[in-house]
């Protein structure tokens, strides 16, 4: 485990932005998209990456309900993890406001930075729209 | 460019041995490989060793020299870490070094100690193969990642849990005569379906077990084998490697494995074969869905149809292309760093006619080993052929 007091620059900044409704993605001049922390476009290596506002609503593309977690989510299980498509990018997050059995593909969601019931650490979540 | 021969193979039993150190496991596997090969230890010019989680399981880094020492070999040694594809990568580099004439004799293999961590600890350790910031911190486990792929597969191509259960049933059946396998036990489709859910839609019986174990290969140049009258009837004739974006959500397809396709195409071209020439294969079935994705990536099944291969008997021991006759990761076990080299050992013995399951593939001349890391952000594929 890393030092819990040290932030992960770029990633924690992104979570901060998501908490205030200012989540973003990165786009290079060729239109390739990615998530931070990044200095270079992972597709073409371009160094000019612009921050663009993430669309507010995504759609669940696939999901799983995890019953056997890592110790960091011991008290959270069972919980639903989903990949949601926000258009320019996809994101992996925990569906936080629904019974795990009610989660389904196609559900519209927005970002909701929440915290682990086990560790109190911030967790990227989704809530239904 | 010289040919590469499999002169000897050695495996420990795969299973539950929490007290055994990885150095002890690799000592056993390498001793068996030397005994099988007839090659003296002092002829080894380099050691290629795969291991994934040694820092977490044993607080041990810098394992290359440690494992050369354990094997009784005085030669430069390097440890390869590429998650579950660690020793597939070690094999690939070893093959290329022998081919280009750098070495005539190499020791290749891998080991993993896992069960001493317990289920929760091992689940945490395995998760480091995923993107820590964007996947693991959202609660994604390793079974969870494959569950996301399985759900995406069902939605895109159809099929369901019962189809996957047939993969588990087949691989358990194949493991019955394999004395090194973790589970020599038949299971029924209903047992897979009724087993506790790990990460929906995958149950405990869709998943490979946690395993301790080691594998080793003695590889030589064709010239060395001839000069020293080494019995090495199987050659590694093709090697390929593929890569992909680390996080599953960054991939173009959630239910395909382009890295394995890339590795397979390279290995087939390298060996001068096509998918239709493959008689038998060991593929990386860490979860039942992984076998399906591997078959499709290797063109052994059309995309979207691999899900029915086990159920309809195309990949069973009596099928057209038997898959995972060793029992696969599912039943043989998956000591992560040992797996890639162990697959080469299994295919080599299947082709040589010395495997307990050689009989169903008595006429086989061409085999394939597919090893995957993470959610297949890394993959190696090797082609083995009967050389004489």
* Residues A24-33: b if buried by 16+ CB within 10 A, e if exposed: bbbbbeeebb
Same domain, A1 and A41: yes
Give the closest of A35, A70, A93 to B124, CB-based.
Answer: A70
B200 to A65: CB separation less than 8 angstroms, yes or no: yes
pLDDT tens digits, one per residue of B315-326: 999 999 999 999
Average pLDDT, rounded, for chain B: 97
- Interface residues on A facing B, Cβ-Cβ cutoff 8 A: 8, 11, 34-35, 37, 42, 61-74, 76, 79, 81-83, 89-94, 105, 116, 121-125
What letter does residue B246 receive in the DSSP assignment?
Answer: S
Q: How many CB pairs under 8 A join A and B?
A: 107
Same domain, A12 and A60: no
Chain A closest-CA separation from residue B61 CA (Å): 16
- Model confidence, pTM: 0.97
Edge-to-edge order in the sheet of strand A50-53: A33-34, A24-27, A50-53
The nearest alpha carbon in chain B to A91 belongs to B249
The nearest alpha carbon in chain B to A7 belongs to B133
CB–CB of A66/B199 below 8 Å? Answer: yes
Crossing angle for the helix pair B22-37 and B336-352, nearest 10 degrees?
Answer: 20
Beta bridge partner(s), residue A25: A52
Chain B closest-CA separation from residue A114 CA (Å): 10
Same domain, A41 and A85: no
Domain that holds residue A20: 1-54
Residues in chain A: 129
Report the distance separating Cα B154 and Cα B64, nearest Å: 42
Same domain, A8 and A64: no
pLDDT tens digits, one per residue of B78-121: 999 999 999 999 999 999 999 999 999 999 999 999 999 999 99
- Domain boundary (A54, A71, A87) is at A54
Kindly report the CATH class assigned to B4-118+209-382: alpha beta
B148 to A68: CB separation less than 8 angstroms, yes or no: no
Same domain, A92 and A50: no
Same domain, A72 and A35: no
Percent of chain B with pLDDT over 90: 99
Give the closest of B120, B202, B247 to A70, CB-based.
Answer: B120
Which of the two residues, B305 and A2, has the higher pLDDT score?
A: B305
Same domain, A50 and A20: yes
B138 to A124: CB separation less than 8 angstroms, yes or no: yes
Same domain, A50 and A87: no
- Domain spans of chain B, in order of start: 4-118+209-382
Confidence tier at B2 by pLDDT (50, 70, 90): confident
Same domain, A94 and A115: yes
Total domains, chain A: 2
A123 to B139: CB separation less than 8 angstroms, yes or no: yes
Crossing angle for the helix pair B142-157 and B118-126, nearest 10 degrees?
Answer: 60
Q: Using a CB-CB distance cutoff of 8 angstroms, which residues of chain B are in contact with residue A122? A: 137
pLDDT higher than threshold 50 for residue A1: no
Instruction: Output the CA–CA distances (angstroms, integers) from residue B317 to A23, B160, B300, B352, B385, in the order listed.
Output: 52, 22, 15, 17, 19
Same domain, A72 and A99: yes
Give the closest of A62, A91, A124 to B148, CB-based.
Answer: A62
CB–CB of B52/B132 below 8 Å? Answer: no
Same domain, A45 and A70: no
pLDDT higher than threshold 50 for residue B229: yes
- Which residues of B are annotated as catalytic? 84, 334
Give the pLDDT confidence score for residue A5 in this predicted structure: 78
CATH code at position A85 = 2.40.50
pLDDT tens digits, one per residue of B10-48: 999 999 999 999 999 999 999 999 999 999 999 999 999
pLDDT tens digits, one per residue of A33-68: 999 999 999 999 999 999 999 999 999 999 999 999
Same domain, A41 and A70: no
Average pLDDT, rounded, for chain A: 95
Structure tokens at A57: 């609503």
Chain B closest-CA separation from residue A55 CA (Å): 16
pLDDT higher than threshold 90 for residue B388: no
């Amino acid at each position: 485990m890393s030092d819990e007091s040290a932030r992960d620059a770029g990633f924690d900044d992104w979570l901060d932005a998501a908490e205030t409704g200012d989540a973003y993605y990165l786009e290079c001049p060729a239109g390739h998209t990615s998530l931070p922390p990044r200095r270079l476009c992972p597709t073409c290596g371009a160094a000019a990456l612009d921050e663009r506002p993430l669309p507010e609503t995504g759609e669940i593309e696939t999901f799983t309900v995890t019953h056997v977690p890592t110790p960091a989510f011991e008290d959270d299980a069972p919980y639903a993890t989903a990949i949601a498509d926000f258009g320019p990018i996809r994101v992996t997050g925990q569906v936080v406001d629904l019974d795990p059995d009610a989660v389904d593909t196609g559900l519209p969601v927005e970002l909701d930075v929440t915290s682990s019931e086990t560790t109190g650490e911030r967790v990227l979540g989704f809530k239904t729209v | 460019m010289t040919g590469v021969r499999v002169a000897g193979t050695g495996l420990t039993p795969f299973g539950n041995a929490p007290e055994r150190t990885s150095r002890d496991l690799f000592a056993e596997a390498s001793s068996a490989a030397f005994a099988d090969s007839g090659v003296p230890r002092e002829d080894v010019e380099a050691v290629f060793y795969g291991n994934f989680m040694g820092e977490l399981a044993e607080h041990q880094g810098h394992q290359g020299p440690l494992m050369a020492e354990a094997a009784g070999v005085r030669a430069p040694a390097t440890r390869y870490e590429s998650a579950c594809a660690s020793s597939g990568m070690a094999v690939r580099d070893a093959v290329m070094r022998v081919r280009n004439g750098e070495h005539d004799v190499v020791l290749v293999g891998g080991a993993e100690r896992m069960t001493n961590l317990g289920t929760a600890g091992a689940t945490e350790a395995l998760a480091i193969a995923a993107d820590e910031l964007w996947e693991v911190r959202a609660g994604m486990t390793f079974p969870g990642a494959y569950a996301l792929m399985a759900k995406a597969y069902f939605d895109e191509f159809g099929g369901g849990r019962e189809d996957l259960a047939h993969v588990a049933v087949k691989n358990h059946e194949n493991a019955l005569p394999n004395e090194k396998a973790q589970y020599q036990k038949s299971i029924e489709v209903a047992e897979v379906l009724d087993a506790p859910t790990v990460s929906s839609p995958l149950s405990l019986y869709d998943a490979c077990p946690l395993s301790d174990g080691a594998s080793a290969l003695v590889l030589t140049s064709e010239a060395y084998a001839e000069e020293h009258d080494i019995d090495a009837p199987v050659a590694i004739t093709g090697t390929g490697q593929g890569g992909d974006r680390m996080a599953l959500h960054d991939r173009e397809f959630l239910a395909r494995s382009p890295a394995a396709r890339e590795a397979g195409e390279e290995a087939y071209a390298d060996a001068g074969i096509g998918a239709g020439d493959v008689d038998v294969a060991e593929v990386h079935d860490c979860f039942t869905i992984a076998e399906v994705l591997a078959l499709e990536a290797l063109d052994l099944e059309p995309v979207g149809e691999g899900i029915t291969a086990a159920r309809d008997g195309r990949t069973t021991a009596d099928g057209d292309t038997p898959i995972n006759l060793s029992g696969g990761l599912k039943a043989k076990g998956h000591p992560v760093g040992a797996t890639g080299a162990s697959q080469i050992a299994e295919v080599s013995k299947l082709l040589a006619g010395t495997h307990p399951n050689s009989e169903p593939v008595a006429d086989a001349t061409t085999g394939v080993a597919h090893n995957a890391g993470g959610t297949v952000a890394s993959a190696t594929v090797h082609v083995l052929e009967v050389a004489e």
